Chains A and B, each alone.
Chain A
C-alpha cells in the first residue's frame, strides 16, 4: 500500500514540467560541482607534491653551515587536502596551507586560499556538499510542498479516504516519496566523490558517518515538509512557510550563531597573542621569569635524556644545550597559549552546536565537514603535527651542535650530509575514531530533530487532522 502511494506521488510529480526542469538543473549542478572539486583537488595535490619536493630539495642542498643557522633558515611544510575535500571542501579555503618551520618560533599555517581571492569568492564555489545541504532541500520543497495541502485544496483527500487506506500508511507512502530523491542525490554525490578520490578515501567509517548524518537530515526535512503541508490551508501558504524555514535554517541561523559565538567568546588577534607570548618569554608564564636555575634544570633533563653526566667538563657545547633548554621552555609557553586559542574555538563551536536547536542544517553542515576532515579540528590537528615536527627538527639540529662542537665555537659548520638527518614531513590525518567522537554531538542533535519532527508528523498530524483534512 505504501509503495502504491509512493508510485502515485512520483508519477504525479514527474508529469509536472517544473519538476523535470528542476531535476535536470540540480543534476547538472551536481555534476558541475563534482567536476570542479575533482579538478581543484587534483590541481592542489600536484602543487602540494611539487612544493614539498622543492622545499625538501632546498633544505638538502644547503652548504656546510652552523646547525643553528640552518635551523633559522628553516623549511616550509604544506598541508595536504583530505580525500573528503572532494565531497566537502569545508574550511579548507579559509585555513592556512603553508607553515614555516624554524628555531625559537612556532609559526602558524598561513596563506589561506581565500585571502588571495576577490569578493566574489566569498560566495564560495560549488561542491557536492553544497548541493546536498542547500539545493536538495530546496528541491524537496519545490516538488513536495503541496503533498497534503494540494490534495486538500483539490478535494482529493476525501476521495482517498473513501478507499479505506489507513491514514498512517498514506502518510508513510508520502514520506517515502519525499525521501527517495535526496537519497538518490546523496548516493550520487558520495559515490562520485569516493570514485574521484581513486579509492584513497580509505576510511569506510567516515563514509558511513556522512551517509548516516545526511539521511537523518533528510528524514527531518521530509517530516517537516509533511507536517507543514498538513498544517497549512493552501499550497501557496505551505510553500511560503517551507521557504521561510529553508532560508532561516540555511542562511540566517548559521550566520547569527557564528556571530553570537564570536561575540560571546571573543578570540584574541594574532598581534595580541604574539604580545602575550613575548611577555611570557620575557617574564615567565606566571610572571615567574625563566631563571638560570630553571634553565639549568631543563638543561640537566636534556643531558639525562642523552645519557651524559652533567659535569663541568662534559663533552657538550653548553651554548647549544642552553638553546635547547630555552626551546623546551618555549614549548611550555606555546602549548599554554595555543591551548587557550583552541579552547576558545571549542567554546565557539559548542555555542554553534547549541544553536542547532534552531536549525537542523547547522549540525548537518558541521557533521559534513567533520567526516570530510575539513573542519577546524582537522586544521588544528595539522598545526599540532607541524609543531611536533618543528620540535624534532630543532632538537636534531641543536643536538648536532651540542655533541659535535665546543662551547663558544659559533664558527662550527656541519657537513651538508647532516641536513638529511631531518626526516621528511608526512602528515597523517586524525584517526576516524576521533572524528566519530566529535561528530557524536552533531548526530545526537540530528536525532533529536528527527524524533521531534517524527512526533509532529506521525503522531500529531493523524491525531489532529487525519482524513478530516
Chain B
C-alpha cells in the first residue's frame, strides 16, 4: 500500500498537471480577491467621501444656526433660516460594508450604497439608475465566481482521468492484482491529488482573508464556516467526478459527462429554477405597482392640494411675505409642515398594503428558491459567500425595509416638532434620529446549508462505496476489457 502511495505521488509529481492546476487555481483565487478588494475599497471611498461632504454641510448649517441663535445673523424667511426644517430635512443612509465584503459582490452591484431620504419623499431602494448594466449582466470576477464555477472545473480537470487513463494504458488490472481492495486503492489515488489541492485552496483563502481583513479576522466564526463549506463543496465535486469517471467507458466520455453535469448544476438548473419560481410566485409588477400607488395617492393628494393651496404646495417659500409679523410667519410655517407631513403620512398609509403584498410575495419566492437550492450545491456555495460578504438578497431586503421604516421615523420626528411648534435649535438637533442598521443573522440558514451539503456528500459517498466495491468493480472492468 505504501509503495502504491509513493508511486502515485511520484506520478502526480512527474505529470506536473497537479502542481500546475493547483497553482493556477490559487493564483486565480488571489487575483479575484485582489480585484474585488479593489472594487470594495472604491465603494468604501465613495461612501466615505459622500459622508464627509454630508458632515461638512451639517457643520456649515450648524455654524449658521449658532450664528442665528447668537443674534449674529438673521434671515428674511423661515424657509432659508437654519432654524426652519428645510436645511435639515435630508439625511443619508448607507449599507454597511463588512471586512469580508470582497468574497462576493452578490446583489451589491445592483444597488447604490448611499441613499438619501427626506421628509418630502419616501425612502426607497430603487436600484442603480446610472450604472453601466453590462458588468451586472456578466457578473464580477470575484472569489465567489472562482470558487463556485471554476473550482469544480479544476477538480474535474484533475480527476476525470483517474480511472480511464489507467484502463487505457492497461495498467489497472495489474494494479488491482496487488493485495489491496479497489475502494482503498481509489481512495488513496484520490487523496494524492485532492488533499494537496484542498490544502492549497484553504491556504489561499486564509492568505486573502489576512491580506484584506487582517490577522484578527482569521480566528472568526466566518473564516471557520468558509473553510468548512469550501471543503464540503470541493468534496461534492470530487465524489461526483469519481462516480462519473467510474461509470464512463473512456476518459473523453467521462470529461464530457462531467462538463454536462457541471453545466446542469451550475447554469441550467439555477436558470430554470429562477424562471420557474418567477412563474409560481410572480413578483407584482413594478409598472402596475407604480400605477396603483399613483391611484392610491391621487385622492389624498387632491385633498392635500386644497388644504395646502395657500402655500403653493411645491414652493412654500414663495408664499412667505417678507414684511409679515413674526407670529404670522411662524403660524404659516407650522401650518404648512403640519399639513404637508400629515398628508405624507396618509399617502404612506394608503400605499402600505401594496408594498406589504410586494414584500410578502418576494419573501415567498425567496423561500421557494431557498428550498430548491438545497439540491444545487453551486447555489448553496454562492449564497454562503453572499451571506459572509453581507451582499445576499436577504441583506438587501433587510436594508430596504429598515430604510423605509427609518424614513417614517425621520418624518415623524419633524411632524412632532411641527405640532409642538418647535423650531430647530442647537439643543434639540441631537434628538434627530440616526440611521444604524440592525444586524441580521444568517447562522440558522448557514447551519441548514452546511447540513444539506454534508448530506449530499454522504449520499455520494455511499454511491462511491457501492460503485467501487471490489466484486462489482472487477466484474465491470472485466466486461469492459472483454468489449
Asked if A173 is at the interface (CB within 8 A of a chain B CB), the reply is: no
By beta carbon, the residue of chain A nearest B308 is A69
Asked if A449 is at the interface (CB within 8 A of a chain B CB), the reply is: no
By beta carbon, the residue of chain B nearest A111 is B286
Contact partner, B46, options A112, A115, A124, A269, Cβ 8 Å: A269
Interface string of A253-295 (1 = CB under 8 A from B): 0111111011100111111111100000000000000000000
Asked if B300 is at the interface (CB within 8 A of a chain A CB), the reply is: no
Q: Is B294 in contact with A240, judged by CB distance below 8 angstroms?
A: no
| Complex alpha-carbon distance, A424 and B250, angstroms | 65
Closest Cβ of chain A to B406, distance in Å, is 17
Closest Cβ of chain A to B65, distance in Å, is 20
Residues of chain B lying within 8 A (CB to CB) of residue A50: 287-288, 291
By beta carbon, the residue of chain A nearest B319 is A410
Residues of chain B lying within 8 A (CB to CB) of residue A262: 39, 132, 135
Asked if A183 is at the interface (CB within 8 A of a chain B CB), the reply is: no
Closest Cβ of chain B to A400, distance in Å, is 16
Q: Is A270 in contact with B128, judged by CB distance below 8 angstroms?
A: yes
Residues of chain B lying within 8 A (CB to CB) of residue A22: 260
Asked if A108 is at the interface (CB within 8 A of a chain B CB), the reply is: yes
Q: Is A117 in contact with B283, judged by CB distance below 8 angstroms?
A: yes
Closest Cβ of chain B to A93, distance in Å, is 8
Interface string of B348-383 (1 = CB under 8 A from A): 000000000010001001100100010000010011
Q: Is B126 in contact with A110, judged by CB distance below 8 angstroms?
A: yes
Asked if B38 is at the interface (CB within 8 A of a chain A CB), the reply is: yes
| Complex alpha-carbon distance, A18 and B294, angstroms | 56
Residues of chain B lying within 8 A (CB to CB) of residue A468: none
Interface residues of B in 133-160 (CB under 8 A from A): 133-141, 145, 149-150, 153, 157
| Complex alpha-carbon distance, A259 and B134, angstroms | 10
By beta carbon, the residue of chain B nearest A104 is B314
Closest Cβ of chain B to A386, distance in Å, is 12
Residues of chain B lying within 8 A (CB to CB) of residue A68: 314-315
| Complex alpha-carbon distance, A272 and B145, angstroms | 29
Q: Is B129 in contact with A110, judged by CB distance below 8 angstroms?
A: yes
Residues of chain A lying within 8 A (CB to CB) of residue B53: 275
Interface string of B163-184 (1 = CB under 8 A from A): 0100000000000000000000
| Complex alpha-carbon distance, A145 and B251, angstroms | 13
Interface residues of B in 244-298 (CB under 8 A from A): 250-253, 255-256, 259-260, 263, 267-268, 270-275, 277-278, 283, 285-288, 290-292, 294-295, 298
Between A96, A98, A271, A410, the greatest number of chain B beta carbons within 10 A of the residue's beta carbon is seen for A271
Residues of chain A lying within 8 A (CB to CB) of residue B164: 236
Closest Cβ of chain B to A360, distance in Å, is 15
Residues of chain A lying within 8 A (CB to CB) of residue B252: 145-146, 235-236, 239
Residues of chain A lying within 8 A (CB to CB) of residue B92: 271
By beta carbon, the residue of chain A nearest B114 is A271
By beta carbon, the residue of chain B nearest A110 is B126
By beta carbon, the residue of chain B nearest A35 is B275
Contacts A51-B288, A120-B277, A255-B138; is A29 near B35 (CB within 8 Å)?
Answer: no
Q: Is B286 in contact with A116, judged by CB distance below 8 angstroms?
A: yes
Interface residues of B in 97-142 (CB under 8 A from A): 106-107, 110-116, 125-141
Residues of chain B lying within 8 A (CB to CB) of residue A267: 130-132
Q: How many residues of B contact A (CB 8 A)?
A: 94
Interface string of B218-258 (1 = CB under 8 A from A): 00000000000000000000000000000000111101100
Asked if A36 is at the interface (CB within 8 A of a chain B CB), the reply is: yes
Closest Cβ of chain B to A15, distance in Å, is 15
Q: Is A58 in contact with B294, judged by CB distance below 8 angstroms?
A: yes
Q: Is A120 in contact with B112, judged by CB distance below 8 angstroms?
A: no
By beta carbon, the residue of chain B nearest A145 is B252
The segment from A71-79, A297-305, A389-397, A426-434 that touches chain B is A71-79
Closest Cβ of chain A to B284, distance in Å, is 9
By beta carbon, the residue of chain A nearest B53 is A275
Q: Is A91 in contact with B134, judged by CB distance below 8 angstroms?
A: yes
Asked if A119 is at the interface (CB within 8 A of a chain B CB), the reply is: yes
Asked if A187 is at the interface (CB within 8 A of a chain B CB), the reply is: no
Contact partner, B379, options A78, A120, A263, Cβ 8 Å: A120
Contacts A68-B314, A123-B271, A134-B267; is A239 near B135 (CB within 8 Å)?
Answer: no
Residues of chain A lying within 8 A (CB to CB) of residue B292: 54
Contacts A110-B126, A112-B110; is A120 near B290 (CB within 8 Å)?
Answer: no
Q: Which A positions have Cβ atoms within 8 angstroms of B?
A: 18, 22, 29, 32, 36, 47-48, 50-51, 54-55, 58, 61, 63, 65-66, 68-69, 72-73, 76, 78, 90-91, 94-98, 108-126, 130, 134, 138, 142, 145-146, 235-236, 239-240, 243-244, 247, 251-252, 254-259, 261-263, 266-275, 341, 344-345, 348-349, 352, 376, 379, 410-411
- 29 contacts across the A-B interface (CB closer than 8 A): A47-B287, A51-B290, A58-B295, A58-B298, A63-B305, A68-B314, A68-B315, A76-B290, A91-B136, A111-B287, A115-B128, A120-B373, A120-B379, A236-B164, A236-B252, A247-B150, A255-B141, A255-B145, A256-B141, A258-B138, A258-B140, A262-B132, A263-B35, A270-B129, A271-B114, A348-B134, A379-B133, A410-B312, A410-B318
Q: Which B positions have Cβ atoms within 8 angstroms of A?
A: 35, 38-39, 42, 46, 49-50, 53, 92, 106-107, 110-116, 125-141, 145, 149-150, 153, 157, 161, 164, 250-253, 255-256, 259-260, 263, 267-268, 270-275, 277-278, 283, 285-288, 290-292, 294-295, 298, 301-302, 305, 309, 312-315, 318-319, 358, 362, 365-366, 369, 373, 379, 382-383, 386, 392-393
Known: A58-B298, A255-B139. 17 other contacts (CB 8 A): A55-B290, A63-B305, A94-B137, A108-B129, A115-B126, A115-B127, A118-B365, A119-B106, A119-B392, A122-B107, A124-B137, A236-B255, A247-B153, A257-B138, A269-B113, A271-B112, A275-B50
